[in-house]
Structure 1
Amino acid sequence: MADENRRIAEELVQAVGGEENISSIAHCATRLRIMVKDKEKIDQDRVEELDKVKGAFYNAGQFQVIFGTGTVNRIHEQMVAIGMPEASKSEQKEETKKQGNWLQRLLRTFGDIFVPIIPVLVATGLFMGFRGLITNIFPGALPDNFLLYTEVLTDTAFAFLPALVAWSAFRVFGGSPVIGIVLGLMLVNPALPNAYEVGAGDIDPLYFFGFIPVIGYQGSVLPAFIAGFVGAKLEKWLRQRVPEALDLILTPFLTLLIMITAALFVLGPIFSAVEAGIMGGANFVLDLPFGISGLIIGGLHQVIVITGVHHIFNLFEIQLLADNGLNPFNALITAGIAAQGGAALAVGLKTKSKKLKALALPSSLSAFLGITEPAIFGVNLRYIKPFVLALVGGAAGGFFASLFNLQATGMAITVIPGTLLYVESAITLILYILTNLIAAGVAFALTWLFGFSDDMLD
């Protein structure tokens, strides 16, 4: 096995233009990421023909080769063993930040900030789902203290969401993360009027100078993001000018003083209004009648995944959960993901090619576990029609989910693992299962009938 992986690594090096064309290598859960000097020297067809390769694509300086979980670690080890320069993902990210246009760089930055806080929001969503399941099974039988305990599990992350966002923004933009945490906590200090209570009309904002409304920013994302960005830049600017002997005391003091003043009186009010406008537009699409929102989002989400900028939706989902505790977007993108798995499964079962079968079947399983890149780049997009017909399946599943207003209790997990976000009631669970079956089933049937034949292998 080690000899085979070494052979694949050696052939891969030659296929991407040789050692002299490789700046560094790194890997994530499924992909080997190769920083190349000249993308014109890459022989992509040759790469995709290599054993164990499930797909490959170039994006902003990185040539990404999909091997799948486990395999990518072994190929990476062999690449290092034959002398390829290794880099951490963070080092490659720094290099990648210089690549692409301003919009690509902006969207990557959003991903860098929001992806690290997603695990705690996933856990929160699971807690909410299980609480709904338990309270439906034992209605009225649970003690009040138990319900209070579950509220601690489900409400804490969103109660202090600005602290998480400001922490991550300071980390990404080069500030001290601990200052970001404190700044974010200041935005939700209990001394400030609670944003939810102000929104409900139960209490009034504080007014400074008679016209500047000041409230807490519970559940807000964009104000904390902007405060984190500006605060990190301010801290770096101050550190270059404050004498070293005073840096430990004066820099944090001035950063927090200036930033909380700016956040409460200027940045917060302005970007709360911007955030409300963005969410209004997004909710307009989600609220389109007759299942139209599901057709659009379920049908087009995986097109956006190809571009690699789909992490921008994290901001939207986080805000949905912070506002309502529910996330209708998850069900719609789940349909698109399940459909890619259904199309890849059809290709894998229909083809007589052992190599394609060995690629398509595991890729479809990966999609059903929520990771579509192997199915998209390794199978469906390679033959075009399966990918397009999977978009149709995603639209069908999204249409069904939208008709029934299916909503998750969390985010970031989909298809089979995502079932845990829909266990709040039997009806919700059944609707979620039907959404996946419709999406995958339509994509499977269309791909089997019209989307693939072995003649396409030529």
Structure 2
Amino acid sequence: MSKNYRDTAIQILEHIGGKDNIEQAAHCVTRLRIALKDETQVHTDQLLNVPLVKGAFHNAGVFQIVIGPVDVDRVYAEMIELTQMEKATIADVKTSGSKKLNPMQKLVKIFSDVFMPILPAIITAGLLMGLNNLIGAKDLFYAGKTLLEVYPNLDGLWALINMMANTSFVFLPALVGWSATKRFGGSEILGIVLGLMLVHPDLLNAWNYGQAASGIGGQSIPYFDILGLFSIEKVGYQGQILPILVAAFVLSKIELWLRKRVHSSIQLLVVPITSIVVTGVLALGIIGPVTRLLGNYITDGIVFIFDVAPALGAVIFGALYAPLVITGMHHMFIAIDLQLIAQTGGTFIWPMIALSNIAQGSAALAVFWITKQQNEKSMASTAAVSAYFGITEPAMFGVNLRNKFPFYAAIIGSALAAIFITLSGVLAAGVGIGGLPGFISIIPKFIPTFLIGMVIAIVVPIVLTYLFSKSKKFGNRE
């Protein structure tokens, strides 16, 4: 069936109040993101009947219309041509919408703005780390042996993959420094320098900090002696999120303050060096130690909850993750995952996220089998495939939420799968693709258990969606 992108764009404009009601518009992989002047002019019911529109909702001050990969780019192009508006970035639209946000929404927006640009590097690192772990896992392919022991020629490949996988995590502060200073209005290059400074080879590696602090093996924490007046721990922050996030904020504010007060003729000489030196001292002397302690408390608190009541924690997270995607709060879990990996060597959060995505895809797949409507069937099939590879918006907004009961079935399946893998202690070595390929990022000894969790996340939503469809009128969108 051919797709009329111009007609779709015309109808979208009609149902959101026209060109005059738009401040700015951009798009991401699956959604149009529009900052509206008056959200009361939106006619959501009519909008949902527009071809290619799979869902629509307000989030963080921005009106979002779910269309799907590839199609969204073409609809956006038609919209720009029809309205003669300037193309905008997602950051531009979010800035326009941020005026309507409460403090919590602003915090979530910061995490989203910082981590979305570096997500490809984090996911790539997670997948490579998973592949690396598979090669070095004992008993996975051969009893009592690893692939390296059976095929010694793989050693060079294993070492190369290991180096590639670790790069993003070793220099994570530099990635976050670049993205965060860009978000806060500072110079990205200074953010990179600040991030690299926090992982400088002259500093004690963060992975060895615990041993040095405990005096294990005769180790001790080295210090910078600053003119005999005070000392600063000579410690790095590899894999840490909060230190560089706060330091990048401080760096940006100092730089912006200096730019307004230093004459343009000497700005290049004064502003960068002053910003880096002042922020560097604050980062190593105050920000780093305080935020490291705060990050440890947050991580310990989350681990404590799942240690004391793992089933309760799993059912809450497994059931609530999909609704959190609607609010945008799911972006905060990237920081928690990375903190868990840095502190404990693995994360139990990301495996539950992967299963939640699979559950949404499975519910959409059930709708594909059940529905008699050709348009619904086509949408459900493509949405299911998309969710199975980590992009859940088409399935969630285009199929499951519109029919209600598939969404409930997916949440139940996700919760049950989360309980199972949590009670089994499943951990991921990194953040990978949150769908069927997700098993690659699981620590090898937990892969068989995780695969059972995947079966639960596939079967339960399909069965429940089928049963719910028998007791409810299919396609109910009241």
C-alpha distance in 2 between matches for 1:457 and 1:112: 33
User: By how many angstroms is 1:227 displaced?
Assistant: 0.6
Contact 2:389 2:436 in 1 (8 A): yes
Q: Partner residue of 2:82? A: 82
The answer to whether the aligner puts 1:155 opposite 2:166 as a matched pair is: yes
Partner of 2:459: 441
Mark the CA change 1:15 to 1:317 in structure 2 (over 3 Å): closer, same or farther.
Answer: same
In 1, the alpha carbon distance for the partners of 2:305 and 2:158 equals 35
Pick which of 177-186 and 377-386 moved more: 377-386
Number of the residue aligned with 1:429: 447
Does the 8 Å CA contact 1:19/1:84 hold for their aligned counterparts?
Answer: no
1:181 aligns with 2:192: yes
CA distance in 1, matches of 2:464, 2:427: 27
Structure 2 distance, partners of 1:420, 1:20, is: 48
Equivalent in the alignment of 2:337: 317
Partner of 2:123 in structure 1?
122
Give, in whole Å, the separation in 1 of the partners of 2:34 and 2:187.
Answer: 30
Among 177, 182, 201, the residue aligned to 1:190: 201
Q: Can you give the 5+ residue segments of structure 2 that lack an aligned partner in the other structure?
A: 137-145
Secondary structure, in 3 states, of the residue corresponding to 1:216? coil
The answer as to 2:304 corresponding to 1:293 is no
Residues 256-313 of structure 1: CA distance to partner in whole angstroms, max 9, x if unpaired?
A: 1111111111112221111111111122234345544322221211111111121011
Aligned partner of residue 476 in structure 2, secondary structure: helix
2:277 corresponds to: 257
**Structure 2 partner of 1:4:** 4
Structural mapping, 1:91-110, within 5 Å? 91-110=92-111
Distance in 1 of aligned mates of 2:161 and 2:353: 28
Cα distance, 1:457 vs structure 2: 5.7
Conserved? CA contact 2:426–2:450, under 8 Å: yes
- Give the Cα–Cα distance (whole angstroms) in 1 for the partners of residues 474 and 162 of structure 2: 55
Q: Normalized against structure 2, the TM-score is what?
A: 0.88
CA distance, structure 2, for counterparts of residue 455 and residue 92 of structure 1: 33
CA 1:55 to 1:146, structure 2 compared with 1: closer, same or farther past 3 Å?
A: closer
Is it true that 1:276 corresponds to 2:277 in the alignment? no
Contact 1:415-1:436 at 8 Å conserved across structures: no
Structure 1 stretch 348-357 or stretch 243-252: which is displaced more?
Answer: 348-357
Number of residue-to-residue matches in the alignment: 456
Change (3 A) 1:455 1:317: closer
Separation in structure 2 between the aligned mates of residue 128 and residue 56 of structure 1, nearest angstrom: 36
What is the match of residue 387 of structure 2?
A: 367
Residue 152 of structure 2, aligned match among 142, 155, 178: 142
2:438 to 418, 427, 430: 418
Residue 310 of structure 1 aligns to a residue whose secondary structure is: helix
Distance in 2 between residues matched to 1:151 and 1:348, nearest whole Å: 41
Counterpart of 2:185 in 1: which secondary structure?
Answer: coil
Alpha-carbon separation, structure 2, partners of 1:417 and 1:321:
20
Q: CA deviation at 1:218?
A: 2.1
The alpha-carbon deviation at position 134 of structure 1 amounts to 2.1
> Structure 1 residues 457, 237: closer, same or farther in 2, change over 3 A?
closer
Question: Which one-letter code corresponds to 1:186 in the other structure?
Answer: M
Which region of structure 1 is more displaced relative to structure 2, 201-210 or 91-100?
201-210
Contact 1:352 1:454 in 2 (8 A): no
321-330 or 225-234, which moves further after superposition?
A: 321-330
Deviation at 1:343, TM superposition (A): 1.8
Which letter maps to 1:28?
A: C
**Whole-Å Cα distance in 2 between the matches of residues 329 and 171 of structure 1?**
28
Question: Could you tell me how far apart the structure 2 residues matched to 1:325 and 1:255 are?
Answer: 34
Change (3 A) 1:162 1:61: closer
Letter in 1 for 2:264: E
SS in 2 for 1:192: coil
What is the Cα deviation at residue 430 of structure 1?
3.1
Within the candidate set 215, 233, 236, 2:253 is matched to 233
2:330 alignment partner, SS class: coil
Q: Is the 8 A contact 1:24 1:84 kept in 2?
A: no
Quick check: 57-66 or 69-78, which moved more?
A: 57-66
Match of 2:42 in 1: 42
Deviation at 1:348, TM superposition (A): 2.6
RMSD, matched Cα: 2.4
1:156 and 1:71, CA in 2 relative to 1: closer, same or farther beyond 3 A?
closer
Distance verdict in 2 for CA 1:373–1:198, change over 3 Å: same
2:181 to 167, 170, 182: 170
Tell me which residue corresponds to 2:142.
Answer: none
Measured against aligned partners, the alpha-carbon deviations of 1:225-255 in whole angstroms (never above 9, x if no partner) come to: 1111001110111122222222112211111
Q: 1:382 to 1:196 in 2, by over 3 A?
A: same
How far the C-alpha of 1:200 sits from its partner, in A, is 2.0
Q: Is the Cα–Cα contact under 8 Å of residues 128 and 162 in structure 2 kept in the other structure?
A: no
- Does residue 23 (structure 1) correspond to residue 23 (structure 2)? The answer is yes
Taking structure 1 as the reference length, the TM-score comes to 0.92
Do the aligned partners of 2:34 and 2:93 also contact (CA within 8 Å) in 1? Answer: no
- Deviation at 1:182? 1.4
Q: Deviations over 1:123-149 (max 9, x none)?
A: 222222222222332327537665543
Q: Does the 8 A contact of 1:340 with 1:367 survive in 2?
A: yes
SS at match of 2:409: helix
- Determine if the alignment matches structure 1 residue 382 to structure 2 residue 402: yes
Q: Secondary structure at the match of 1:400?
A: helix
Instruction: Flag the 1:430–1:86 CA change in 2: closer, same or farther, 3 A.
Output: farther
Cα–Cα, structure 1 residues 4 and 154, in superposed 2: closer, same or farther, change >3 Å?
A: closer
1:27-58 deviation line (CA, Å, top 9, x unaligned): 21111222221111111000001112111112
